[in-house]
Homo-oligomer: A and B are copies of this chain.
């Protein structure tokens, strides 16, 4: 597949909104017969546009009440220092996302916690036990104002 056409993009939008519908129903919503719809989806999967199908869990319902954006600065920006930090961060389950940043901070982490105790434990782990950490600044989210589920296609 060279480039997804308008129907493909519509299908992708539908799939990232709710993937648990039959090809019958999905076909109806984009104006395709079930088998044509099925073939399109298969092609989109094979071309790598769809990386997976996932259940989205309710974080609050599961007790994750707090979310933070943590800025991290390292002592050194050598390749070894970055590699060591990145390897260590993989093992912390509370870290949902970690980005190497341009600009002021070296890294930005998006983390989620159940309670203050959880966060203290995490904070300690980040500042004391992660290699090369010079500076940590935590920003707590008071409320999630917007949460788009999926890409703006």
Contact = CB atoms under 8 A, between A and B. Distances in A.
Interface string A78-110: 000000001001100111111111111101100
Contacts of A117: none
A53 B19 contact: yes
Contact of A58 (B18, B48, B94, B105): B48
Contacts of A140: 101-103
Contacts of A152: 93-94, 96, 112
Interface of A: 12, 15-20, 47-59, 61-62, 64, 67, 69, 86, 89-90, 93-105, 107-108, 112, 139-153
Contacts of A52: 18, 20, 55-56, 149
A89 B54 contact: no
A55 B51 CA distance: 8
Given A151-B64, A152-B93, A141 B108 contact: yes
Contact of A51 (B58, B144, B151): B58
* Nearest 10 Cβ contacts at the A-B interface: A93-B152, A15-B55, A98-B146, A99-B141, A20-B53, A98-B145, A19-B55, A102-B140, A100-B143, A100-B142
Given A97-B144, A100-B143, 8 more contacts: A15-B55, A20-B52, A48-B61, A51-B57, A69-B101, A96-B152, A100-B145, A103-B139
